[in-house]
Amino acid sequence: MIPVQGVNGQTIAVLGLGRSGRATAAALAAGGARVVVWDDGHDARLNAEAEGLELRDLTGAAGWDDIAALITSPGIPHLYPHPNPVIAAALQRGIPVDNDIGLFFRSFATPEWQDFDVTPRVIAVTGSNGKSTTTALIHHVLDSAGRPCQMGGNIGTGVLSLDPAQDGEVVVIELSSYQTELARALTPDVAVFTNLSPDHLDRHGGPGGYFAAKRRLFSEGGPDRCVIGVDEVEGRFLANQMGQGPGDDRVIRISSGQKLDGFGWSVFARKGFLTETRKGRQMASVDLRQIAGLPGAHNHQNACAAWAACRGVGLAPRQIEAGFRTFAGLPHRSQTVRELNGVRYVNDSKATNVDAARQALQAFTRIRWIAGGLGKEGGLTDLAGQMGNVVKAYLIGHSAREFALQLGAIPHEVVETMAEAVARAHAEAEPGETVLLAPAAASFDQYPDFEKRGDDFVARVNTL
C-alpha cells in the first residue's frame, strides 16, 4: 500500500466503494486521515460498514463542514452528462475533488528515495485501444530484463494498493480518460498515447472533451519522454505540441502502417517489421510476424508503443525483443484459445467498439465472426467496405437484428446466444479459417462485463 501524503489530521470523504474506493480509503487512513465514505448503492454501504468504514450521508446539506477533499471513483460522472449529486455538492462548496490517480502521483515519491542509487520511474499509458496490452507488454519486457517493476491502475492492482517503490523500480500504469480527466496531479516520467477513436463521448461532452481528457496526461504532467501514436490527427497534434521541432527526441512518434522520416526519434511497423530510428539512423529492426502473442497491425502498434517506452527507460533493443518473444498476450484481446481441426478460435471480447473490431478483423483472414451485444451509436456502419475477410457473421445479443440489417450482402445469421454462435461457427468452419469473437458492442445486455463474455466464449470453445 502507498500511504497518501499531506492528509494527516484531515477529514477526507470517499465516494464510491468498489475496488478502487476501498483501496483509497485504506491508503488515506494509512496517511493519517479520518476517512468518511459514501456510495449510492445500499449493499455497498452495508459492506463498507461491516468492514469498519465510517459512513456519512453526503447527499444532503449537512455533513460537509469538516471535509477537506472528496475522492471519487472513476465510474462516477463528475461533469458530463451531469455530475453525481455528491460531486455537485462538493463543487458548489469549493471542496477539492480528486481521484486515486491524483493521490498516487502526489504520494509515490518519499524521502527514502534520497538513499536510492536509481530513482524510481513511472510509465503511464493512455489511449482508446490497446492500452491494456501495451501496459502489460511493457511490464513483461521490464520483468524479463530483470528490472524491478509493478503494474497497476486501470489494469490489475489499484495504484494505491501497489507497494512502495524499490531502488530503480519502474511502475507501469494504465489510465483511462475517466482517470486522467479528474486527477489533480499527473507526473509520469514517460507518458504513452496509443491512439484515439470515439468512445465514452457522453462522459466527456463529445470527441473534443474525450481528447482533452487524454491530453492532460501530457500537458499537465510534463513527462520527460512522450511516446505518441501519430496515425490519427489528434496524435499528430499532440506530438506537435509536446515537441520543440521535428528533431526533438523527447517525443518518440510511433505508427503502425507508415514510415516515419525526419524525426528525432521514431518507432514504426510496416508489413510486419518494427523499425526504430533516431536522428536519421536505424537503431533496430524486428520481425513481428513471428511473435505469436502480438498478431495483427493493431498489436504491432502496441509493440511500437511498448518498444519506445522501454527504450525511454534505458532498455537495449535485444532485451526488448527477447521480452516480446515470450509475451503470451492478454485474455480477451486477440487471445488464441485453441486450434482444432485446422480452425483457430480467437477471443477478442475486449473489442467493445467498432474501431477495435476493425483491427481484429484486419488481423486474420477467412473469419467466421461472432459479433453483437449492446451496440453503440452507429452500429456497424463505420465498418462498411472493411469486412472482406468475413466468411460469415454470427450475431448475438440485443443488437443482433440491427447489425444484420447493416451487414448487407455479407453472409450472416442471427443466433442470439454465445452457445449457439460457437456451435454454428464450429459446425461450418473449414481448415484455415478463424472463429473470431470481436463483438463491436458492449456486453451489458447479456453479461456483467466483457471479461465474463470472453470467459463464456472460451469455456464453450474448450468443450468442442
User: Which pLDDT score, from 0 to 100, does residue 227 have?
Assistant: 98
User: Which pLDDT score, from 0 to 100, does residue 135 have?
Assistant: 97
130 marked among binding-site residues: yes
| Contact yes or no for 56/39 (Cβ under 8 A) | no
Residue 129 has pLDDT above 90, yes or no: no
Same topology between domain 11-98 and domain 103-325: no
299 marked among binding-site residues: no
Which residues on neighbouring strands pair with residue 126, listed in sequence order?
193
In tens, the pLDDT along 353-382 reads 898 899 899 889 999 999 999 998 889 998
User: Which pLDDT score, from 0 to 100, does residue 335 have?
Assistant: 87
User: Which pLDDT score, from 0 to 100, does residue 330 have?
Assistant: 84
In tens, the pLDDT along 66-109 reads 999 999 999 899 999 999 999 999 999 999 999 999 999 999 99
132 marked among binding-site residues: yes
User: Which pLDDT score, from 0 to 100, does residue 342 have?
Assistant: 97
**Could you state, in order of their start, the residue ranges of all structural domains in the chain?**
11-98, 103-325, 335-462
Residue 199 has pLDDT above 80, yes or no: no
Q: What CATH number belongs to 103-325?
A: 3.40.1190.10
Under 8 Å CB-to-CB from 163, ≥6 apart: which residues?
1, 2, 150
Under 8 Å CB-to-CB from 125, ≥6 apart: which residues?
131, 134, 135, 138, 172, 173, 174, 175, 192, 194, 305, 309
pTM: 0.85
Region for residue 366 given its phi and psi (left: phi exceeds 0; alpha: psi -120 to 50; beta: otherwise): left
In tens, the pLDDT along 253-311 reads 999 989 999 999 999 999 999 999 999 999 999 999 988 888 888 899 999 999 999 99
Residue corresponding to grid cell 466468411: 391
Whole-Å CA distances, 230 to 251, 269, 371, 379: 11, 12, 29, 26
Radius of gyration for the alpha carbons in the chain, expressed in angstroms and rounded? 23
Angle between helices 131-144 and 296-312 (to 10 degrees): 50
User: Which pLDDT score, from 0 to 100, does residue 435 have?
Assistant: 98
Rounded to 5 degrees, what are φ and ψ at 324? -55, -40
Share of the chain above pLDDT 70, in %: 100
Q: What CATH number belongs to 335-462?
A: 3.90.190.20
- Integer Cα distance of 365 and 375 in angstroms: 24
Q: What is the mean pLDDT of the chain?
A: 95
133 marked among binding-site residues: yes
Share of the chain above pLDDT 90, in %: 85
User: Which pLDDT score, from 0 to 100, does residue 424 have?
Assistant: 98
176 marked among binding-site residues: no
Residue 345 has pLDDT above 90, yes or no: yes
In tens, the pLDDT along 432-447 reads 999 999 999 999 999 9
User: Which pLDDT score, from 0 to 100, does residue 197 have?
Assistant: 86
Which CATH number applies to 11-98: 3.40.50.720, 3.40.640.10, 1.10.3720.10, 3.10.580.10?
A: 3.40.50.720
127 marked among binding-site residues: yes
In tens, the pLDDT along 412-422 reads 999 989 999 99
User: Which pLDDT score, from 0 to 100, does residue 340 have?
Assistant: 96
**For 78-82, 316-320, 329-333, which range has the lowest pLDDT when averaged over its residues?**
329-333
- Integer Cα distance of 119 and 189 in angstroms: 11
52 marked among binding-site residues: no
> What stretches of 183-295 show up as alpha helix (H) in DSSP?
201-204, 207-219, 233-242
